[in-house]
């Protein structure tokens, strides 16, 4: 059985922009921006897989190649065994993509939009499945409303419905809950999790790492166009180890630069909230004493178990142990 997604040594280079006269002359400048660099990855059928990385890591470029919207500079990609270039029609039929951007046609109702989307895949009399999607995404009451009259959250629900209308075996969710309310997130994940249990393969990109930790069985992390970690979610968490010490600092904030050893422990700062790596509980008193000695005023503390955010930050900032960074 072919993997749901197979990515083999894929690279993508965007050429430097050229002036009009150089384009007319057929002259192209050397070099360009390399968004992906020799990425290889397999996602098995039925997996719930997470693709994580900071902005600019190459996630959207990879999804565009999967969807046939962009062509890889080198390498090969297939969906359910179908090459996305030479067997584009079959590969596209096997894939449903929920994009980040709210792209919609303002001249149709929600139901008309889904019927048109069904027609792109040669599906007729698809209303029973359309009704089921509308019900599961909380869109039944909006079925006959014009798309331009919907709120941003409702428009995003319609994008999800469009991706599912032809019942693709592989579903790509590119930041599906960015900027939406808690109710949509809960409804969406219940429906998507049910589809996954039915055998659909899910590929998720998200900046909400708690979502990835809860939903994804396996995770790949991209950094500067390369895969720098690939493992099960449980294994990534186990390799991080330790705990997080969260300090709620006084008005003066974190005493940055006053103790280099402390700064090396610092994982993240958000306003007056500082998160440090805590290898074991015996270090707690000594760390608190060091913060106070450096001039920091501590108003509250929390000790939390390591989570996927810790693993992500460790890898992205180069503080992970070599064993953690098991790339494809």
**Pair 230, 268 in one domain:** no
pTM for this predicted structure: 0.77
**Pair 158, 24 in one domain:** yes
Residue 310 lies in a domain: no
Tokens describing residue 251:
């008005």
pLDDT at position 25, please? 56
Q: Are 109 and 40 in contact (CB under 8 A)?
A: no
Q: What range defines the domain where residue 253 resides?
A: 242-305
pLDDT at position 27, please? 52
Q: What is the pLDDT of residues 242-301, one digit of tens each?
A: 678 899 999 988 887 778 888 878 877 888 898 887 877 788 888 899 889 888 899 999
Q: Are 312 and 209 in contact (CB under 8 A)?
A: yes
pLDDT at position 131, please? 94
Please identify every stretch of the chain with a pLDDT value under 50, giving residue numbers as ranges: 29, 319-328
Q: What are phi and psi of 309, to 5 degrees?
A: -60, -40
Other beta carbons less than 10 A from residue 313's beta carbon: 17
Q: Which residues have CB under 8 Å from 168's CB, separation 6+?
A: 93, 94, 95, 96, 200
Residue 327 lies in a domain: no
Based on the structure, what is the number of domains in the chain?
Answer: 2
Q: What is the pLDDT of residues 205-243, one digit of tens each?
A: 988 888 888 899 999 999 999 999 999 988 887 776 667
**Pair 228, 283 in one domain:** no
Residue 322 lies in a domain: no
Residue 315 lies in a domain: no
**Pair 230, 290 in one domain:** no
Residue 208 lies in a domain: yes
Tokens describing residue 78:
């297939």
Residue 76 lies in a domain: yes
pLDDT at position 319, please? 45
Residue 211 lies in a domain: yes
Which 3 state secondary structure label does DSSP give 248?
strand
**Pair 249, 225 in one domain:** no
**Pair 22, 170 in one domain:** yes
d(CA 242, CA 248): 20
Residue 324 lies in a domain: no
**Pair 103, 137 in one domain:** yes
**Pair 249, 210 in one domain:** no
CATH number at residue 119: 3.40.50.300
**Pair 196, 82 in one domain:** yes
The domain boundary, picked from 204, 234, 264, lies at 234
**Pair 55, 202 in one domain:** yes
């Amino acid at each position: 059985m072919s993997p749901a997604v197979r990515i083999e040594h894929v690279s993508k280079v965007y050429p430097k922009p050229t002036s009009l006269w150089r384009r007319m002359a057929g002259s192209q400048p050397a070099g360009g921006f390399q968004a992906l660099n020799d990425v290889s990855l397999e996602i098995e059928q039925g997996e719930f897989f997470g693709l994580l990385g900071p902005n600019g890591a190459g996630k959207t470029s990879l999804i565009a190649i999967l969807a046939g919207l962009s062509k890889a500079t080198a390498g090969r990609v297939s969906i359910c065994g179908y090459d996305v270039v030479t067997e584009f029609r079959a590969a596209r039929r096997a894939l449903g993509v929920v994009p980040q951007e709210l792209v919609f046609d303002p001249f149709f109702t929600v139901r008309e939009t889904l019927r048109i989307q069904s027609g792109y895949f040669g599906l007729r009399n698809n209303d029973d499945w359309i009704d089921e999607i509308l019900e599961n995404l909380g869109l039944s009451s909006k079925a006959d409303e014009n798309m331009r009259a919907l709120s941003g959250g409702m428009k995003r629900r319609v994008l999800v419905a469009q991706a599912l209308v032809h019942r693709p075996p592989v579903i790509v969710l590119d930041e599906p809950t960015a900027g939406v309310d808690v109710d949509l997130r809960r409804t969406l994940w219940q429906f998507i999790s049910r589809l996954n249990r039915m055998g659909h393969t899910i590929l998720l990109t998200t900046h909400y790492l708690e979502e990835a930790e809860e939903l994804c069985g396996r995770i790949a992390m991209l950094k500067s166009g390369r895969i720098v970690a690939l493992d099960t979610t449980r294994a990534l968490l186990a390799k991080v180890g330790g705990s997080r010490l969260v300090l709620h600092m006084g008005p003066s904030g974190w005493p940055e630069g006053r103790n280099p050893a402390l700064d090396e422990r610092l994982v993240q700062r958000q306003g007056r909230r500082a998160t440090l790596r805590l290898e074991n509980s015996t270090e707690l008193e000594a760390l608190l004493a060091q913060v106070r000695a450096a001039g920091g005023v501590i108003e509250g503390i929390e000790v939390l178990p390591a989570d996927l955010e810790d693993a992500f930050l460790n890898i992205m900032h180069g503080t992970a142990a070599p064993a953690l960074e098991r790339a494809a």
